[in-house]
Structure 1
Amino acid sequence: MTPDGIAAVRGEWEGVAAEVFEPFARNGQRRWGQVCLRGLLTDGQRKPVGPMAARLGGDGNRQALAHFITTSPWDPAHVRAQLAWRMEETIRPTVLVFDDTGFLKDGNASACVSRQYTGTAGKVTNCQVKVSLHLAPDHASAAVDWRLFLPGTWVPGSVKADPGKVARRTACGIPDDVGHVEKWQLALDMLDETRSWGIEVPVAIADAGYGDAAAFRHGLQARGLHYMAGISATLSAQPGEAAPVTEPYSGIGRPPAAKCPDKPQSVKQLVTAAGRKTAKPVQWREGSRPGTGRNGFRRMYSRFIVLRIRPAGREIRDTTESVELAECRVLAEWPAKEAEPVQFWLSGLPAGTPLTTLVRLARLRWRTGHDCREMKQALGLAHFEGRTFNGWHHHVTPVSLTHAFCTLQRLARAPKDTAPA
């Protein structure tokens, strides 16, 4: 890049940094916030405070950077709101994507560390788990809100409480009012927070860790959102044409809820019964490998089935009748070379939504997965070496800002024939 180009990029970066750090009350916080962003953008694989300070030359005051990340009293929510407003205006999100990932840890001193499952390792291991909310259209995404999942081992009075971890709550700065909350509820909390910022996006996307929770799906419906959520093959349901009936009420005890006379089946059984011949071919985007697509890349293609169903299951029983008996659709991928369907989603979108739209939305989570890997590998998302609850939030927020700036640069410099409409 030419010197003029470098100067232009730096000017854009300073403008973005000044905008998102505008809520800071002190000039020193704004200065060290900008220095932190510049450190995250520097070359070098490791992005903890020490290595960043060493690469920043005259601005590399390790003590000041460490204070900004770990103990400076700034509220990450204010900065995230500024980021969300900027990215909503620029990328025009069409969906909200909920995601989570793990940060592998060797010891037990960091806040919220416990032995738990994470898809990062594909097993139960010692880690922290974060839950994130992303704004996304088809061509970009921006992580605008975060939560750190607190396992029951850190909660006093929990049946899973670990005395050693409970004793470390104060040292890790975990607020007294922060307890164990399921990940799907953390996702709904972030949704409520972003809506309080004025961010209104009509469709939510999540994987099976959220989609399997009926309370999560009902929470989205109660907030007026449509959804496309991954589900497990074992999720129980009735066929869409099943007719729920209500037994006569005897006047004693709780009135009986409407239910179908036949035993529910798994979604895999329902899709398999529909047969492979009902699957239709769908292409949803072009990949990154060379191929025969319009832009010279391989087309992403598979075969899909859509069925009307009525979700069942134990946790549905405590919901209201109108929610319990609601009809929705299951989307299943059944590749031509497979003997059975391989992946499933539950759609809460309007009944007339085309199959191609359902598939495109179901597959849109690849974008946030790709961007999360970029934040981990290139921008230091997993490099936080502090141990405090607030320090973690102070670390991931500048990483989000840095990734958003990189996204804005890519979009501004994308070839016109490939840029999004």
Structure 2
Amino acid sequence: MSGVALYPRTARPARTTRTAVPAPARPGSQDPESQGPDSHDDVLAELCAALFASLPRSDQRRRGEAYVRGLLGTQGRKSIRNIAALIGGQAAEQSLHHFISSSTWDWIPVRRALAHYLARVSPPHAWVVRPMVIPKAGDNSVGVDRRFCPAVGQVLNAQEAVGVWAASAEHSTPVNWRLHLSDAWLQDGLRRGQASIPDSVRPETLGECTVEAYTGMMRDWGLPLRPLVLDARDMDAPAALLRLRACGVPAMARISHSLRLTVSGPAVPGRGAEALPAHQILGAARDLRRPVMWRDHGPSRVVRTALTAAVRVGLPALRTAAVPGPARRRELLLLGVGENGRRWPAELWLTDMVNVPPAALVRLGKLLDRVDRDFTEISDEVGIRDFAGRSFSGWHRHVTLASAAHAVAALTGRPEEGLRLGYVS
């Protein structure tokens, strides 16, 4: 699946001057068993040289690489103490703690360098936004709050963040993170001060956090334009899509069955101008279903088949002053996906890429599965959720370096001793 042919030229924002990124041989594109014994170290050294070029001091660059190595090689919980035990003991623990929690180095240039490295060696087919819930026992870590987590169907004491992933059919890697902070944290001066939360961090909904995690990255980093894929079932999907559309971003969002939409064309006979639940619209369009095929993202790479149907729709009249009128009025495509003999539709997607074939949209949506798999089998294994510190900056530095460790594991396909991925590209 091409990374640049998924949407028509008209879907690109007119102001962009970005060009396609050349695709040299990917470090992770070979069979793991055919790679030389130094391929893992070669990729790690090359990536760290690119990531830490913005760090002004050589000792910071050395500690950055040591931390990434520790995340890859430490067994069990990837705490600073356990990482230090692997690479140098108590003295290393003190220096790494300072490097992560108290140092002044900026994580944004490191993330930008990671995104550009991946765009060069493994061009993404799409950018995928995925939430991350981090359960916590106490209430001192920055952003910890009691929150309902739809994925597990219960209230947890947890942090919540949003990650932006560079995703292709072969693998995916997080490149940017945004911590979602509740009003309880941002309006409590004492807690805010203890966690060193910057004054620039303001209250926002999960949907606003999701959009800003992506648009903030794309505004300044000079990355190639790709479609954005997100799961918007637990947020205000219309508001998120309208904000993305106003920025000229081709987007595809998984939506809830109850989201109300209006049918734009004659594809669904007998439908008037009233807004209807999305599942009802696609239920009436079941005669439009056609089979599509894609290759599963798991180790078996099995070819799978699904049924799809697409209907052009519009959003009901919204009183959203922040979104320009033309962005509100443009047509959208409602896509249903299901399996023969099962409940129809099993999944519902909404996109402004109205001229892209449904088969290509289905493959694009399946990148959410790719990201979910890689989060479980790589990110969690390199300790993306293991930071135990309290500070806002410490959390951001840890997840930045854990993202770098994830990139090494994903690109090489061969873990360090003690790291079990259970994944073959």
TM-score by length of 2: 0.82
Matched, 1:283 2:293: yes
Match of 2:410 among 401, 407, 411: 407
Matched, 1:343 2:347: yes
Matched, 1:231 2:255: yes
Return the alpha-carbon distance in structure 1 between the equivalents of residues 123 and 289 of structure 2.
Answer: 33
Map 1:240-259 to 2 at 5 A: 240-241=264-265
Return the alpha-carbon distance in structure 2 between the equivalents of residues 202 and 12 of structure 1.
Answer: 25
- Checking the alignment, whether the CA contact within 8 Å between 1:114 and 1:126 is kept in structure 2 is yes
Q: How far apart are residue 319 of structure 1 and its match?
A: 5.0
Report the more deviating stretch, 98-107 or 331-340. Answer: 331-340
Map 1:187-266 to 2 at 5 A: 187-195=210-218, 196-209=220-233, 212-241=236-265, 262-266=273-277
Report the more deviating stretch, 51-60 or 355-364. Answer: 51-60
Match of 1:80 in 2: 111
Structure 2: state its 5+ residue gaps. 1-31, 415-423
Spell out, residue by residue over 1:215-239, the C-alpha distance to the aligned partner (whole angstroms, 9 max, x if none). Answer: 2212222222211111111111111
Q: How far apart are residue 204 of structure 1 and its match?
A: 0.8
Match of 2:201 in 1: 178
Moved over 6 A (4+): none
Change (3 A) 1:170 1:211: closer
* Amino acid of the structure 1 residue aligned with 2:310: V
Return the alpha-carbon distance in structure 2 between the equivalents of residues 127 and 176 of structure 1.
Answer: 23
SS at match of 1:154: helix
- Checking the alignment, whether the CA contact within 8 Å between 2:124 and 2:167 is kept in structure 1 is yes
- Checking the alignment, whether the CA contact within 8 Å between 1:212 and 1:230 is kept in structure 2 is no
Structure 1: state its 5+ residue gaps. 157-164, 243-259, 291-296, 412-418
Q: How far apart are residue 23 of structure 1 and its match?
A: 0.5
- Checking the alignment, whether the CA contact within 8 Å between 1:102 and 1:120 is kept in structure 2 is no
Return the alpha-carbon distance in structure 1 between the equivalents of residues 298 and 239 of structure 2.
Answer: 37
* Amino acid of the structure 2 residue aligned with 1:373: T
Match of 1:153 among 181, 184, 200: 184
Match of 1:356 among 349, 354, 359: 359
How many pairs are equivalent? Answer: 379
- Checking the alignment, whether the CA contact within 8 Å between 1:35 and 1:59 is kept in structure 2 is no
Match of 1:97 in 2: 128
Spell out, residue by residue over 1:323-366, the C-alpha distance to the aligned partner (whole angstroms, 9 max, x if none). Answer: 33322110112322224322200021042x11210111111111
- Checking the alignment, whether the CA contact within 8 Å between 1:211 and 1:229 is kept in structure 2 is no
Match of 1:19 among 50, 54, 78: 50
Spell out, residue by residue over 1:284-338, the C-alpha distance to the aligned partner (whole angstroms, 9 max, x if none). Answer: 2135375xxxxxx532222111111112265569855433332211011232222
- Checking the alignment, whether the CA contact within 8 Å between 2:306 and 2:338 is kept in structure 1 is yes
Return the alpha-carbon distance in structure 1 between the equivalents of residues 89 and 155 of structure 2.
Answer: 43
Q: How far apart are residue 74 of structure 1 and its match?
A: 0.6
SS at match of 1:220: helix
Map 1:293-308 to 2 at 5 A: 297-308=301-312
Q: How far apart are residue 47 of structure 1 and its match?
A: 0.5
Q: How far apart are residue 398 of structure 1 and its match?
A: 0.6
Change (3 A) 1:298 1:9: closer
- Checking the alignment, whether the CA contact within 8 Å between 1:235 and 1:313 is kept in structure 2 is no
- Checking the alignment, whether the CA contact within 8 Å between 2:245 and 2:327 is kept in structure 1 is no
- Checking the alignment, whether the CA contact within 8 Å between 1:236 and 1:312 is kept in structure 2 is yes
Matched, 1:42 2:73: yes
Match of 1:167 among 190, 209, 227: 190
Q: How far apart are residue 113 of structure 1 and its match?
A: 0.7
Answer with 1 or 2: which has the greater Rg: 1
Q: How far apart are residue 59 of structure 1 and its match?
A: 9.1
Return the alpha-carbon distance in structure 2 between the equivalents of residues 284 and 315 of structure 1.
Answer: 39
Return the alpha-carbon distance in structure 2 between the equivalents of residues 320 and 15 of structure 1.
Answer: 44
Matched, 1:271 2:282: yes
Change (3 A) 1:210 1:79: farther
Change (3 A) 1:319 1:24: closer
TM-score by length of 1: 0.83
Change (3 A) 1:14 1:144: same
- Checking the alignment, whether the CA contact within 8 Å between 2:140 and 2:390 is kept in structure 1 is yes
- Checking the alignment, whether the CA contact within 8 Å between 1:214 and 1:315 is kept in structure 2 is no
- Checking the alignment, whether the CA contact within 8 Å between 1:136 and 1:142 is kept in structure 2 is yes
Q: How far apart are residue 66 of structure 1 and its match?
A: 0.8
- Checking the alignment, whether the CA contact within 8 Å between 2:129 and 2:214 is kept in structure 1 is no
Bigger relative contact order, structure 1 or 2 (CA pairs below 8 A, ≥6 apart): 2
- Checking the alignment, whether the CA contact within 8 Å between 1:188 and 1:216 is kept in structure 2 is yes
